Amino acid sequence: MHAIHITEHGGPEVMTWTELPDPVPGPDEVLVRLGVAGVNYMDVGAREVGGPGWAAPTVLGVEGMGRVTALGDGVDDLAVGDRVAWFYHPGSYADLLVIPAGSLVKVPDEVPDETAAAVMMQGLTAHHFTTGTYAIGPGDTAVVHAAAGGVGLLLTQMIKARGGDVIGLVSRPEKVALAEEAGADHVLVSTGGGFEGRVKELTGGEGAHVVYDGGGSATFRSSQLALRPHGVHAYYGPFMGVPQFAVTDLPNSILLTYPVVHHHVPTREALVERTGEVFDLVRAGQVTPRIGGRYPLAEAARAHADIASRRTTGKLLLLP
């Protein structure tokens, strides 16, 4: 098999298309032939700086879909030929993968391969944000950072499906139309802080109920100032920088949270249930991922360079 392998951390140039031994599934594991892999900012961070579970040498990637080609002992709820998807399995930039059966979900016939791969990590993240992190209800106002990005577009659609209003933030004027097409009620062009005044104006001086902030240190303070009293600041941008602050700096009695998608799907039952809810939104036409780019798996370095440039929109996919 071939995979995108690194032997040291650094820029896209450390990513190599490498031949490795074919893996063999053990007990409670499944051999999957990759159909589509998703690209995430997490992958860029793993390549650049590593972190827990990402010591070099390693194979990059965490998300994708494919077909079951062999079963290990003890696997009785999957069959050879099943279409399956996963939201987190290190080493997903590879032709063949051995994955624990408990990490896989079956893909409904009505959900295309690319769609399934595109909504696993980012779709479950958006689902977590709009339910467990802050349960969006009719009339709630949410500020969505990077509203034309992969998470932002899905998040906007899920907020609208739950009856909320969206103020989207985008980095470039040409991205405004994409955020509006996803359902954003207002779209502001902002490359850093300073947007809180406009959010207050759009909410009649009250501020938003929740801000979903993946912008890093540059947007941290403005996100908090854009909230109404007891509003929720959902910060999910650790690879963009972790701000230093005192608890007494938090304005308006706001609530600060760092949502982690693994806490949304702590068991196989939760994974199947919540992925099923995301797939239901797809089948109902309420959530449609925008594919922002398709790349050969062997050219994953080019996808990394593009996503890091912030010039991309939607979800980037790798095809073997």
Cβ atoms within 10 Å, residue 248: 5
What is the per-residue pLDDT for 245?
Answer: 83
Give the residue carrying structure tokens 């509003």: 231
- Cβ count within 10 A of residue 176: 17
What are the structure tokens assigned to 30, written together? 């499944």
**pLDDT value at residue 242:** 74
Q: Where in the chain is the domain with CATH 3.90.180.10?
A: 2-119+289-319
Percent of the chain with pLDDT over 90: 89
115 touches 35 (CB < 8 A)? no
CA 149 – CA 171 distance, rounded (Å): 10
Question: Is pLDDT above 80 for 178?
Answer: yes
Three-class secondary structure of residue 49 per DSSP:
helix
Strand extents, DSSP E, 137-240: 141-144, 165-170, 186-189, 208-213, 227-235
Torsion of CA 63, 318, 170, 235, to 10 degrees: 20
Over residues 238-259, the mean pLDDT reads: 85
Angle subtended at Cα 308 by Cα 122 and Cα 212, rounded to the nearest 5 degrees: 40
Mean pLDDT of 28-36: 98
Cα 89 to Cα 129: distance, rounded to the nearest angstrom: 21
Q: Indicate the range of 104-108, 171-175, 214-218 predicted with least confidence.
A: 214-218
Local structure of 257: helix, strand or coil: strand
Confidence of residue 320 (pLDDT cuts 50, 70, 90): very high
* Residues forming CATH 3.40.50.720 domain(s) in the chain: 122-262
Q: What is the b/e burial string over 35-55, where b = at least 16 CB atoms within 10 angstroms of the residue's CB?
A: bbbbbbbbbbbbbbeeeeebe
Instruction: Say whether pLDDT at 237 is over 80.
Output: no
Report the relative pairing of strands 165-170 and 186-189 from DSSP bridges: parallel
Average pLDDT over residues 142-154: 95
Task: For the domain made up of 2-119+289-319, give the CATH fold.
Answer: Quinone Oxidoreductase; Chain A, domain 1 (3.90.180)
Per-residue pLDDT for 221 more than 70? yes
Whether 239 has a pLDDT exceeding 70, the answer reads no
User: Which band of pLDDT confidence, cut at 50, 70 and 90, is reported for residue 15?
Assistant: very high
Q: Has residue 57 got a pLDDT over 90?
A: yes
Of the candidates 116, 108, 63, which has an alpha carbon nearest to the alpha carbon of residue 82?
108
Find the helix or strand (DSSP H, E) in which 198 lies. helix 196-202
Spatial strand order of the sheet with 141-144 comes to: 186-189, 165-170, 141-144, 208-213, 227-235, 255-257
List the beta strands (DSSP E) in the chain.
Answer: 2-6, 16-19, 29-38, 58-59, 63-71, 83-86, 96-100, 105-106, 141-144, 165-170, 186-189, 208-213, 227-235, 255-257, 291-296, 315-319
SS3 312: coil
285-314 pLDDT tens trace: 999 999 999 999 999 999 999 998 877 888
At residue 240, the pLDDT reads 63
Q: How deeply is 230 buried, as exposed, middle or buried, from its count of CB atoms within 10 A (0-12, 13-18, 19+)?
A: exposed
pLDDT of residue 310: 75
Res 314: pLDDT: 86
For residue 229, the model assigns a pLDDT of 98
pLDDT of residue 238: 62
Least confident interval from 217-221, 253-257, 315-319 = 217-221
The reported pLDDT for the residue numbered 241 is 66
Is there a contact between 110 and 283 (Cβ–Cβ < 8 Å)?
yes
When the pLDDT of each residue in the chain is averaged and rounded to a whole number, the result is 95
Structure tokens at 59: 């194979």
Instruction: Find the mean pLDDT for residues 184-198.
Output: 95
pLDDT > 70 in the chain, percent? 98
Tokens matching residue 140: 């709630």
Fold of 122-262: Rossmann fold (3.40.50)
